[in-house]
Amino acid sequence: MVAFALQEQKQHIIFLEHANATILAEGISISKICVAIHVNFHVDLASFLGTGLTATMKTSTLSVASLLVANSYGSPFLSSDVSVNSQNFRSFVKRQGPGSYYAITGAKGGVQPRIEIRELEKAGGEMWNLFLLAIAEFKAMDQDIIDSYYQIAGIHGMPWENWDGVEGLNPSPNSGYCPHNQLLFGIWHRPFLILFEQKLQEVATKIADTFPTATRTKYQEAASKLRIPFWDWAKAIPTDQPILPNSISNETATVSFPNGTTASIDNPLYEYRFHPLDHSQINGTGCTLGAGPSGGLPQVCDNSLMTVRADVSASNYGNLEGNLRRGHASRRTSLYNLLSQPQTFTQMTSADACDGVSRVGNIEAIHNPIHNAFFPGHMSPASVSAYDPVFWLHHANVDRQIALWQTIFPETYLGSCAAGLGTWTIESGQLLDAESPLTPFHRNAQGDFWTATTSRNFTNMGYTYPELVDNPSNATIVAAIKTQYSGPPDVPVENSRARTQTSSPSKKELFLAQVKLPSYGLDDGRAGSAPYNVLLSLGKSSNSAEDIVGIASALGNANSKNDKITTVPIDLSSALDKAIASGATTADKAQEYLKTNLHYRLELGGEEIAKEKLPALKVSLVSIEVEVAQSDDTFDRWVGDFKEHGTI
């Protein structure tokens, strides 16, 4: 046993089991631990070092490493009651036993809304504080525990291992459970998100129970309402504010602990630090970054001890913000088109075209450029993207868009389709439908799987979204969507108005670039295919956000080079409006102007890719007649078929 004397108002000695954990092997310095203990526990360092800990000590306890989140996160959820502390430590044990499956039921406390991350931070109070504390504690869990942050994130891709006893195919592919470019893409993430949400709330509840009597009830109430926040990457924002909120990109965050102290800690939304990075589990076999456009980009999966964003050794938020700004206006209008037009549920939620090619697009195609914006960081390859904390906020927003659309168009749902590319449990060519198991997610301990059918009503899963609280009318939802997504992209929402609402005609011609791209077409030099972006610009070929008028992306795949073609329509309205306003063209010459000036190129991470590497890629100009809505609570209506204006 190793004893550490942690001083607060009175001295208490907390005995932690010696687990032969080597601090230096975990990448933690003794000095960093001392600073964390001093800041977060208010322990006198001289007294602490007097217990026998020296700067050269190479052994400690796994409990301490976990307690400090293996990277100096403070986790001072210690009560003055030693029995409470021991209960907290004992709570992190495996819950799966022989013949018993992990029951995914979602968060408790009734149906509560997931809140946009900026709004959650702005509201502050117990909910925001508890969210930060819970995420930090969640990430600190031993990586071998079935419901640790590491294990849950690993379901999406690497490590190539079974979860909750759900066996992979034999031979097992280099693929996780997630079905990208397949029928089940959108709906598969629902039980995945509520699993994360369920565990997050469980951790938050235990933290809330340690607050003093005066504030405990408020924190317990906050825990019962806590859900994953979403990051609305299509939100209209002022030009002086970043698309990626500071609450995600700041290195530190201020929190208040149950013991009454307030301190600045490493921001738990900033990164995930592997403890340890096990190369037998996380490695280059799942990261198509290894080849990159020129075959020379490093493999962050092999080298980085923590998740990184838009760079290799450390996050680069200048690059990331520039990437997110590219095509932001067209992303908003393309999303508005997607939410406002009827089609089948399958067409809306998946890039798989088994219900026929969608003319308004799908949410998977709109979601892809967000992942690629983080290249060459962990969010780009699907095999490791779920380790980055921003993944959960991103996919909560994707689910929100699906929930909004299916509420407006409730008559359609998932059809059936043969799987193209296989996953850990789905064979290529396997017939999928609404009753297919969403592996590896069990609804109960007996082993019944979640399916698309059981996941259809998201309120039965314990959550909703702000626009859907209290079951509003379709007209109210439509008005909310138009307010949020049909106005200018770079002004506050409250000051925006739909472009078509100011002296708008009854009809207009809508121009779109139709990008047909191979989902797995860029050879990565190994067994799979690498991600890439198709950038559209008007007359210029620079990489600046101002010049890019649209973007379509492929995520690549570590296990396939199959040239599955996905069609991505990109709305050119915002770019054309700017050109008309500047005098570059007029409305009656829009077609001619776009045919002359619209260009595309391929790139990844700022490096251009030769078009010859993707001969199957086609970009064409199309238009369609639109009946313009004359009220704020009805959508525009697309009329007839596309007019083809040739390739570009």
Taking the domains of the chain in order of start, what are their residue ranges? Answer: 1-68
Q: Who contacts 268 (Cβ-Cβ below 8 Å, separation ≥6)?
A: 69, 73, 132, 135, 136, 139, 253, 389
For residue 488, say if its preceding peptide bond is cis, omega within 30 degrees of 0.
no
| Confidence at residue 152, expressed as pLDDT on a 0 to 100 scale | 99
Q: Coil, strand or helix: which one is 253?
A: strand
Q: What is the largest CA-CA distance in the chain?
A: 82
| Confidence at residue 499, expressed as pLDDT on a 0 to 100 scale | 38
DSSP per-residue letters across 70-111? TTT-------SSHHHHHHHHHT-S---BTTB--B----SSSS
- Distance, CA of 643 to CA of 627 (rounded, Å): 16
φ/ψ of residue 515, rounded to 5: -100, 120
Is the distance from CB of 429 to CB of 562 less than 8 angstroms?
no
| Confidence at residue 211, expressed as pLDDT on a 0 to 100 scale | 98
Rounded (5°) CA angle 47-49-50: 60
Element (H, E) at 569: strand 565-571
What's the predicted TM-score (pTM) here? 0.85
DSSP per-residue letters across 159-204? S---BTTBPPPSSPPS--S--TTSTTHHHHHHHHHHHHHHHHHHHH
Q: Strands, E, within 33-96: which ranges?
A: none
Kindly give the parts of the chain with pLDDT less than 70. Answer: 1-99, 288-299, 488-504, 521, 524-528, 541-543, 558-563
How many beta carbons lie within 10 A of that of residue 215, not counting itself? 15
Residue 113 Cα to chain centre, angstroms: 18
Asked whether the CA dihedral 344, 345, 349, 355 is positive or negative, the reply is negative
For residue 276, say if its preceding peptide bond is cis, omega within 30 degrees of 0.
yes
Whole-number average pLDDT of the chain: 82
φ/ψ of residue 112, rounded to 5: -120, 145
| Confidence at residue 352, expressed as pLDDT on a 0 to 100 scale | 83
Pairing mode, strands 463-464 and 112-113: parallel
Q: Coil, strand or helix: which one is 631?
A: coil
